[in-house]
Structure 1
Amino acid sequence: MTGEKYYITDVDKKEDSIYCYHNQMGEKFIPSHHHKKGQFLYTEGGVVFVKTQEKSYFLPARHYMWIAPGVEHSIHPSSPEVIMRNLYFPIYATDDAFYFNTSIHPVNDLLLELMLFTHRWTGHIDPQDRTAYTIVDAFKVLLPQISNFSLPLSLPLAKNKRLKEVTVYLEENLGKDFLFNDLATGFGFSPRSLSRLFQKDLGMSFIQYLTALRMLKALQLLLEKSLSINEVASKVGYSSLPTFSNTFQKIIGVRPSEYIKMNMMSGRDNS
């Protein structure tokens, strides 16, 4: 089954089926596409960036992403060896509001066990297949009930061309100590106009954007690199380890050391 057939054509061939697909990526990225069904996406063996027209999402270990029906998105894994576990569900107007919003959530043990149980199935599961369909449909029904905590692991994409240049510069120089006034002047803005542009275009302040960007990069480094927490803090612009740890906990919900342990446990669970 080719990537194009799977990602763009096959999922929506049957309106009422639930579609299962577990496979190694084998590709550097999946180009922009959409489907009528809602998508449950879980990955193993690396991290994945998912880009929509409005945001860039970071999907780390031991978390899943729910992609709402009809949302245009592309998928960018950290390596072609990443394993993707996908379940696609038909969504109806009477379904819970949860299914109509794209979001990232931690995976608990119950969800992990149910997902591992679906490994035996590939392709369409029709309602007529009572046993399999009942199990995967129960998986769908459970999601809103056990996913009441979502992680802010996304950043809005700048629409303004000049602001996009600023955000690219920030991403490529996260280890630096940025002075906002100098940054604004360097890109031909007054501090006031750049501050307004961040709020208008991205819906957040410069500090909020920079902090979120630093935390997303820190997550990536903690997962992919053999760096100490202190080294990660330095690479994303924090000279104080307590400040980095406190900020990480505020945004991600756990301290960096706890997050590393969660990732190690996830690796053992999936081995």
Structure 2
Amino acid sequence: MKHKPINCEASVRIYDKKDCAFHARLGWSQTEWHSHRKGQLIYAEHGIMRLYIGDKVLYIPSMHAAWIPMGVEHRVATESINIIFRSLYLDCSGLDDLFYDQVSVFYASALLRQMITYTEKFNLEDTATTHEISFLEALKQLLPQQAQMKINLTLPTTAHPQLAPVTEYIQAHVHEKFSMPDIAGRFGIGERTLSRLFQKELLLPFSQYVKLVRMVKAVEMLIRPGSNVSEVSYAVGYESLPTFSNNFNEIMGIRPNQFLQK
């Protein structure tokens, strides 16, 4: 499905306020590369987002949020027709917690989700009220404590002429059961050469990259209504449900059945 472009400069008026929030039903959308003069907290309901930072793609599932420090070049793509995009732009001057200096993706607690949603009451065009100012200040103070459950659902990217077709194939055939010899043979690359390419270009062994691709697809499927853990496990190439559950827990910090219940 084609993504609708989002013009981030269209909301340049947000910088007239110290802290502010933007909420919109975006559907399939994407931004260009850009940065902000404030820290940005992004959260999406009913879908998954992709956050591009440098040569990495960070996946942000439903019920999760991401923090992007001031000045960090990035772009965002939303992956659902029904997605509601919520973005808070926060002045972090005077805040010394290391959280505010690092890009992170984390599970958004019920309290944080409620606070983010509550900011929809605050109009971008209006002068900030005392209530709005104090509420957003409280949110900033709480944020590091509410962002403890970090996830690392991150895929490195590459433009290497030999490796890029391999990673594209893996992502398109995540349901298949394949090994390093299978892939090396399909693309006419020696196993040792392919192994070195993964380590050099992606800083990951082949097996870890495949695991991450399977987990990304699993998360995309699990957020759909009516999802079944067993069916998703099989659909992303696993024959063993316990192995799938263990790998999911390793990446996401919770079991897939717990993820479904959130």
Is TM-score (shorter-chain normalized) higher than 0.5?
yes
SS at match of 1:119: helix
Q: Quote the residue 1:34 is aligned against.
A: 35
Equivalent runs, 1:102-117 vs 2, <5 Å: 102-117=103-118
In 2, the alpha carbon distance for the partners of 1:81 and 1:225 equals 12
- 1:148 deviation in Å? 2.3
Q: Quote the residue 1:64 is aligned against.
A: 65
Q: Quote the residue 2:241 is aligned against.
A: 241
SS at match of 1:91: coil
Q: Quote the residue 1:138 is aligned against.
A: 138
Verify the 8 A CA contact 2:27 2:79 in the aligned structure 1. Answer: no
Amino acid at match of 2:211: T
Q: Quote the residue 1:173 is aligned against.
A: 173
Amino acid at match of 2:49: V
Q: Quote the residue 1:185 is aligned against.
A: 185
Question: 1:225 and 1:119, CA in 2 relative to 1: closer, same or farther beyond 3 A?
Answer: closer
In 2, the alpha carbon distance for the partners of 1:225 and 1:54 equals 32
In 1, the alpha carbon distance for the partners of 2:148 and 2:255 equals 20
In 2, the alpha carbon distance for the partners of 1:13 and 1:225 equals 35
- Cα deviation, 1:16-37, whole Å, max 9, x if unaligned, reads 6112111111553223322121
Verify the 8 A CA contact 1:22 1:122 in the aligned structure 2. Answer: no
> Normalization by structure 2: what TM-score?
0.89
Amino acid at match of 1:112: R
In 1, the alpha carbon distance for the partners of 2:161 and 2:173 equals 19
- 1:214 deviation in Å? 0.6
- 1:180 deviation in Å? 0.4
SS at match of 1:57: strand
SS at match of 2:204: coil
Amino acid at match of 2:120: H
- Cα deviation, 1:170-192, whole Å, max 9, x if unaligned, reads 00001111120231232232111
SS at match of 1:32: coil
Question: 1:241 and 1:69, CA in 2 relative to 1: closer, same or farther beyond 3 A?
Answer: same
- 1:155 deviation in Å? 1.2
SS at match of 2:33: strand
In 2, the alpha carbon distance for the partners of 1:200 and 1:175 equals 26
Q: Quote the residue 1:203 is aligned against.
A: 203
Q: Quote the residue 1:82 is aligned against.
A: 83
- Cα deviation, 1:142-198, whole Å, max 9, x if unaligned, reads 111221221012111124232111111000001111120231232232111211111
SS at match of 1:195: helix
Q: Quote the residue 1:224 is aligned against.
A: 224
| 1:92 matches 2:118 | no
Among all aligned residue pairs of Structure 1 and Structure 2, give the percentage whose two residues are the same amino acid. Answer: 33
> Normalization by structure 1: what TM-score?
0.86
For the aligned residue pairs, the C-alpha RMSD in angstroms reads 2.3
| Gaps in structure 2 of 5+ consecutive residues | none
Question: 1:253 and 1:27, CA in 2 relative to 1: closer, same or farther beyond 3 A?
Answer: closer
Q: Quote the residue 2:194 is aligned against.
A: 194
Question: 1:52 and 1:12, CA in 2 relative to 1: closer, same or farther beyond 3 A?
Answer: farther
Question: 1:12 and 1:181, CA in 2 relative to 1: closer, same or farther beyond 3 A?
Answer: farther
In 2, the alpha carbon distance for the partners of 1:208 and 1:156 equals 11
Question: 1:45 and 1:197, CA in 2 relative to 1: closer, same or farther beyond 3 A?
Answer: same
SS at match of 1:22: strand
Verify the 8 A CA contact 1:15 1:90 in the aligned structure 2. Answer: no
